[in-house]
Amino acid sequence: RKEVEQDPGPFNVPEGATVAFNCTYSNSASQSFFWYRQDCRKEPKLLMSVYSSGNEDGRFTAQLNRASQYISLLIRDSKLSDSATYLCVSSTSGTYKYIFGTGTRLKVLA
């Protein structure tokens, strides 16, 4: 079983739709979580950190459920420019090493 698991998709949604991705992690010692966005053949770019209380940044909302060991990302009012692969990342305190999920591919259609 992979340490961080994501549905690879693709999720094909129309512009303006709301879409949600989930990610599960198996290491209960994981302390920090992030969502990164990766465009085709490019490097990952930090989208947002994920906090225990949940956090929002514009159209993006991240949630963390430690009891069930999953993280979610909600994108409201999808734009064409949101089309990318969204990477879920966990990190264990002290090592700062990242464990990446395989990513969820999103296509926003006109």
Partner 1 sequence: GAVVSQHPSRVICKSGTSVKIECRSLDFQATTMFWYRQFPKQSLMLMATSNEGSKATYEQGVEKDKFLINHASLTLSTLTVTSAHPEDSSFYICSARTGSQPQHFGDGTRLSIL
Q: Which is nearer to partner 1, 63 or 103 (CB)?
A: 103
Q: Which stretch binds partner 1 (CB under 8 A): 54-62, 66-74, 76-84, 93-101?
A: 93-101
Q: In the complex, what is the shortest distance from the CB of residue 61 to partner 1, in angstroms, rounded to a whole number?
A: 18
Sheet of 60-65, strand order: 4-6, 19-25, 70-75, 60-65, 55-57
Q: Indicate which single residue of 58, 67, 81, 96 sits in contact with partner 1 (rule: CB under 8 A).
A: 96
Regarding 1 and contact with partner 1 (CB under 8 A), the answer is no
Residues near 43 by beta carbon (within 8 Å), at least 6 away in sequence: none
Q: In the complex, what is the shortest distance from the CB of residue 53 to partner 1, in angstroms, rounded to a whole number?
A: 17
Q: Which is nearer to partner 1, 18 or 27 (CB)?
A: 27
